[in-house]
Amino acid sequence: MRFEHLSLEQGLSQSSALSVLQDRQGFIWIGTHDGLNCYDGYRFTVYRNDAMDSTSISGYPIYSLCEDRSGSLWVGTFGGGLNKFDPATKSFELFTNHPNEPNSLSNNNVRSIFQDRGGSLWIGTDGGLNKFEPNTKTFEHFTNDAKNTHSLSGNLVSSIYQDRSGSLWVGTSGRGLNKYEPTTQSFEHFTNNPENPNSLSNNSINSIYQDRSGSLWVGTNGGGLNKFNPMARSFERITNDPKNPNSLSNNTVASIYQDRSGSLLVGNYGGGLNKFDPTTKLFERFTNHLNNPHSLSNNLVTSIYQCSSGELWVGTLGGGLNKFNPTTKHFEHFTNDRNNPLSLSNNMVVSICQVRSGEFWIGTQNGLNKFNSKMKSFERYTNDPKNPHSLSNNNVVSIYQDRSGLLWIGTKGGGLNKFDPTMRSFEHYTNDTKNPHSLSNNFVYSIYQDRRGLLWVGTSDGLNKFDPLTKTFERFTNKATDPHSLSSKNILSIYEDRSGSLWIGTYGGGLNKLDQTTQSFTSFTIKDGLPNDCVYGILEDTHGNLWLSTNKGLCKFNPKSLTVHNYNITDGLQSNEFNSGAYHKGQDGKFYFGGINGFNAFFPDSIKDNPYLPPIAITDFKIFDKSANYGLIPHDIVLNYDQNFFSFEFSALNFILPEKNQYAYQMVGFDKDWIYSGTRRYASYTNLDPGTYTFRVKDSNNDGVWNEQGISINVVINPPWWLTWWFRGALIVGLATTVIGIYLVRTRQIRQTNRRLKAMVEERTKELETKNGELKEKNEEIAAQNEELVQSEEEISSQRDQLAAQNEELHLSREELASQNEKLQDAQSVIEEQNQNLEGEVAKRTLELTVQNQQLEQFAFIASHNLRGPVARMLGLGKLVGAGAIADNEKEYVMNNLLENTKELDTVVRDLSHILDIRNTQQQITTTDLAKELALAEHTLAAEIAEAGAVVMADFAQLESLETVRPYIQSIFLNLLDNAIKYRDPERPLVVRVKSQAEGKFARISFADNGLGINMERDGGKLFTLYARFHFDVKGKGMSLFLVKTQLEAMGGRIEAESTVGKGTTFNLYLKMEGK
């Protein structure tokens, strides 16, 4: 168990954590000898007694804490009685013993508090057990009765707890543990038995707690922590181990609590707070312990290898070679002995390799060693300047055995060596400045052979690809002007993943991925989320994630999503710094990474993310950088207009590695989006306009899991008096009064002006009436003259009517001629259109006859070709049988061959029959269930699907059935599924996706696979022709797609194809939907 310690250095008021509680908001409360502490994951707020303040806490030490259902916090003090804390007002209410009141608290030394399911509060004191009824505020007492063996075992009640079954557990000081049954009002006793290691470890009980899994934990005074087994009625003891810094800090357990994230919090007298995280990353750690001769010999781990028998070999820098026995957990050490030439040549072990014959080879800074397991001795291979076939350099940093059995040795300064174990000689490959095809550098740090058999060599000056036939190297190095070159020339590790991609770990350039088609590199660095740009080791887990060891912890990198998850020393790593060459994947899938402080071992799937969604709390609100005593319960905030510089402090109440918690906040009405502040826990605002805003804040836990709900607080900023509603109202009323006054004055002036104008109008009217009489006489004379003019105009009008009649007759004649001309033009157009239609029909029919003729010729050729082969083989085998030229032991082979050729002939005949049937037969249209037809095809090809390990995924939700020719659909599904199986990619599992949907008047059915694919630029034009084949290493006759196309066209449909070589093919079938 790994514990994290919180003590004076982190802000705790006193190092004895006597009681611990997490309230409903998520705050951790800790009672000590010197005050009550409230912990938000980052800092402690301390409440102490103030003699001048009756609402302060009455005293301490504080042995007990309890939050009741209403949210009030009950605090038990030693000598100060019982306190009730209101989190809204941050004030305390006091309950004490009164000798003259039998229903008061029995004693002021309160050691424990507990609220049962019925709402009653139980208080343990130095005067027995008290039951407090909150409604009546009275106490009922339970004490020890020497005459009653089923009474409380002792009056010093130190702890109380009710388990899930309803039983009440009562711990005493010196008199053991009691189990109280409310139905019988009796106590069962559990005490320490020195002769029974499974009994209670100590009779002084400080705390009792049942975790979420149902386990009952009992903390004692000197006996450590006890875990009770209710079935066996026995206890498991957990105590301090002086040799283990991550064990329980001491054996005096004062308090136990499990927070919302699942962490078990254990408070110790003088040992601070211990936090056990059951979801802690399972990084097993191995280090050197000075007092343990069977521990790792040295913490500087430079190489790791698990042998075929399961034992682990670990090389160290200065401590020699270690052999770890997983059963005994002991390390056996092998070191250099100057007086023994059969000992390890040097204690600086930097590389280990076990070859197929079982021999172990160890590279040191003073030569190569072969280990003799029976004799436990070493045979040394070192550089001999007089022998050109000896090891080129004694500093051996990498060893690798290729598939042919040859051993490759990389040295630091002597280049690459190829060792022939038969000849016991070394062949050297070194850098030649005059030869660009020689090894790029003589410092060889990594060697790797890919699945194609190519040997890759990583040096301090680039990556090398070795050609064994020409014995030449192709170099890849960093080029400052080429962003697609290696990001660094120093190559530390090489790995080929399951998809065939080659990954290169560099020193200073992060992780590189090589595209062997384009010979270009893609790099991933700190900018992409890596913790560090020095990638020492690369291992791949079963999910395709790459685990990288760096100078700043471990990194889990997903190559598909390009996401990263980083782990550091707080997760249990030996150190943040790892070493080159010290990485290995065991036979059982366990990963090993070595660094400067030992090594870690873990199963990748055991490294789980913390799923807990932490609540978030506002821990302080400041105006002009001074605390406004906000309180612990969220509430709205109202500010004056001049309080325009304020800030919030907040905390994620996740106590598992809280330094990794992250935050985001937004002031709705001001901020357009969320502001992600990382681990910063405050937000400041200045010069906000008056108005109503909503401050929102959310948080994540240590593994980046976000609580999207967060909390929201309304912030109201009142405007200045001149912008208030009442001032604006008064201003509006004043303006309205002024406007009305101006209106009334102006109206009176207008009325006076109107009266003057009226008198002037009346006088002018009289003058106009006189002149009007004179005008009337003149009008009568003009009227008489007009009558004479009218008579003259009537005569002229009669003459005009006669001329108009003549013009009308001429117009009718002209229109009749024009109509006849239009009819002639229409007739000519109809004749021309008929001629064009006849010519088009003749051309179309001619083309169809030509295509049919070509198809008949192709049909005849395919029929001849596909029938001739099996028939010829059958005839040949028949002649051998007839001639008696077959031995008895060969007859079964011949008969099987005849049967296979007969089946092949039958398949050809059926395919040809399908084609003729389509051309000559009128098929019936029925309702066709697409899912059933696909299931029928899968059933027919069940053996082939199982052999290929294929997965067929269907989605007919949008279109389940069609009105069409059912036998054709059967044949099409069968051929397309068979084609996908035949032309699958052997490098990956076959996945076939079938989907249907309506598109306008057509139904579209798509068949998509991830197979070999087709070169559409080269072969797209002949994809659906007879005898068209594109993968000659796969058996086929080239008829399936022609048959599919022919059947679709017979139903008035069509087929289209999309394909990419190496990625797969999609066939889209389009069928006309009936009634659309």
CATH number at residue 27: 2.130.10.10
pLDDT at 4: 73
Please indicate, yes or no, if residue 662 is contained in any of the structural domains: yes
Return the closest-CA partner of residue 461 out of 430, 484, 417. Answer: 430
870 and 947 co-located in one domain: no
Out of 44-48, 231-235, 421-425, 867-871, the most confident range is 44-48
**Predicted pLDDT of residue 117:** 86
Is the confidence at residue 898, as pLDDT, over 70? no
Does a structural domain hold residue 288?
A: no
pLDDT value of position 761: 74
| pLDDT value of position 256 | 86
**Does 848 reside within a domain?**
yes
Helices 930-940 + 966-982 axis angle, to 10 = 50
152 and 14 co-located in one domain: yes
d(CA 518, CA 524): 18
Please give the pLDDT value at position 182: 79
With 60 as the cut, is the pLDDT of residue 868 above it?
no
Burial class, 711, CB count within 10 angstroms (exposed 0-12 / middle 13-18 / buried 19+): middle
* pLDDT tens-digit readout, 510-545: 999 999 889 999 999 999 999 999 999 999 999 999
Which residue did the predictor score with more confidence, 361 or 790? 361
**In this predicted structure, which of 155-159, 643-647, 838-842, 945-949 has the lowest mean pLDDT?**
838-842
- 713 and 664 in a single domain? The answer is yes
Same domain, 749 and 704: no
Task: Give the count of beta carbons closer than 10 Å to the beta carbon of residue 812.
Answer: 8
Residues 79 and 195 in one domain: yes
Domain final residue, candidates 248, 276, 304: 276
- Which residues have a Cβ under 8 Å from the Cβ of 8 and sit 6 or more positions away? 14, 15, 272
Give pLDDT, residue 755.
80
Number of domains in the chain: 5
Which of 515, 512, 437, 504 lies closest to 471, judged by CA? 437
- Tell me: pLDDT of 634 over 80: no
Q: What is the pLDDT of residues 96-115, one digit of tens each?
A: 999 988 888 999 999 889 99
Q: Judge whether residue 1024 has pLDDT over 90.
A: no
Give the Å distances, CA to CA, from 798 to 391, 788, 806: 137, 17, 13
φ and ψ at residue 262, rounded to 5 degrees: 100, -5
Gyration radius from the chain CA atoms: 48
DSSP per residue, 656-688: SSGGG-EEEEEEETT-SS-EEEET--EEEEESP
Place of tokens 């022998």: 387
In a domain, 421, yes or no: no
The amino acid occupying position 84 is K
Distance CA 442, CA 434 (A): 14
In a domain, 407, yes or no: no
Highest mean pLDDT among 265-274, 483-492, 601-610: 483-492
- Asked if residue 731 and residue 709 are part of one domain, the reply reads no
Q: How many C-beta atoms surround the C-beta of residue 911 within 10 A?
A: 19
Name the band, by pLDDT with cuts 50, 70 and 90, for residue 560.
Answer: very high
CA nearest neighbour of 416 among 466, 351, 453: 466
Q: Which of 200-214, 224-238, 868-882 has the lowest mean pLDDT?
A: 868-882
- Region 684-694 average pLDDT: 93
**ω before 278 within 30° of 0 (cis)?**
no
User: What pLDDT does 816 receive?
Assistant: 64
- Predicted local distance difference test score (pLDDT) of residue 857: 45
Q: What is the CATH number of the domain that holds 1012?
A: 3.30.565.10
Number of helices (H) and strands (E) in the chain: give both, helices first: 7, 68
Domain boundary residue among 722, 746, 771?
Answer: 722
- Torsion angles phi and psi, residue 81, rounded to 5: 75, -150
Mean of pLDDT values over 685-701: 93
Pairing of strands 128-133, 121-125: antiparallel
pLDDT tens digits, 1031-1058: 767 766 667 888 999 999 989 999 999 9
Q: Choose among 466, 459, 452: nearest CA to 496.
A: 452
Q: Which residues pair with 115 in a beta bridge?
A: 121
Look up the CATH number of the domain holding residue 656: 2.60.40.10
Q: How confident is the model at residue 1075 (pLDDT cuts 50, 70, 90)?
A: low
What is the C-alpha to C-alpha distance for residues 622 and 645, in angstroms, rounded to an integer? 9
Question: Is the pLDDT reported for residue 249 higher than 90?
Answer: no
Q: Is residue 751 assigned to a domain? A: yes
583 in Cβ contact with 304 (< 8 Å): yes
Residue 1021 forms part of a structural domain: yes
Phi/psi at 1002 (nearest 5 deg)?
A: -120, 155
Contacts of 334 (CB under 8 A, 6+ apart): 320, 321, 322, 323, 343, 344, 371, 376, 378
Same domain, 869 and 763: yes
- To the question of pTM greater than 0.85 for the whole model, the response is no
pLDDT of residue 276: 72
Q: Residue 802 pLDDT > 70, yes or no?
A: no
- pLDDT for the residue numbered 878: 57
Same domain, 11 and 150: yes
DSSP state of 363: E
Quick check: 917 pLDDT over 60? no
32 lies in the same domain as 49: yes
301 within a domain of the structure (yes/no): no
Residue 835: per-residue pLDDT: 53
Average pLDDT over residues 235-260: 82
Which residues in 221-342 belong to E strands, given as ranges?
225-229, 234-238, 253-258, 264-268, 272-276, 284-286, 301-306, 312-316, 321-325, 330-334
Q: Do 121 and 201 belong together in one domain? A: yes
Residue 448 C-alpha from the chain's centroid: 31
| Shared-domain flag, residues 529 and 647 | no
Q: Which of 659, 636, 815 is nearest to 715 (CA)?
A: 636
pLDDT at 342 over 50: yes
β-bridge mates for residue 523, sequence order: 512
Range name among 220-224, 500-504, 661-665, 1037-1041 with the lowest pLDDT average: 1037-1041
Residue where a domain terminates, one of 539, 571, 603: 603
CA pseudo-torsion sign 615, 619, 623, 629: positive
Alpha-carbon gap, residue 122 to 109, rounded angstroms: 14
Question: At CB < 8 A and 24+ separation, what contacts does 853-860 make?
Answer: 855/1026, 858/1025, 858/1026, 858/1027, 859/912, 859/915, 859/1026
Angular region, 128: left φ>0, alpha ψ -120 to 50, beta rest: left
Q: How confident is the model at residue 776 (pLDDT cuts 50, 70, 90)?
A: confident
849 and 976 in a common domain: no
What is the domain extent for residue 1045? 923-1072
Q: Is the pLDDT confidence value at 1076 over 70? A: no
Q: What is the mean pLDDT of the chain?
A: 86
**754 sits in which H/E element:** helix 725-882
The helix or strand, by DSSP H or E, that contains position 836, with its residue range, turns out to be helix 725-882
For residue 304, pLDDT over 70 is answered with: yes
Q: Comparing 179-183, 569-573, 808-812, 848-852, which segment has the lowest mean pLDDT?
A: 848-852
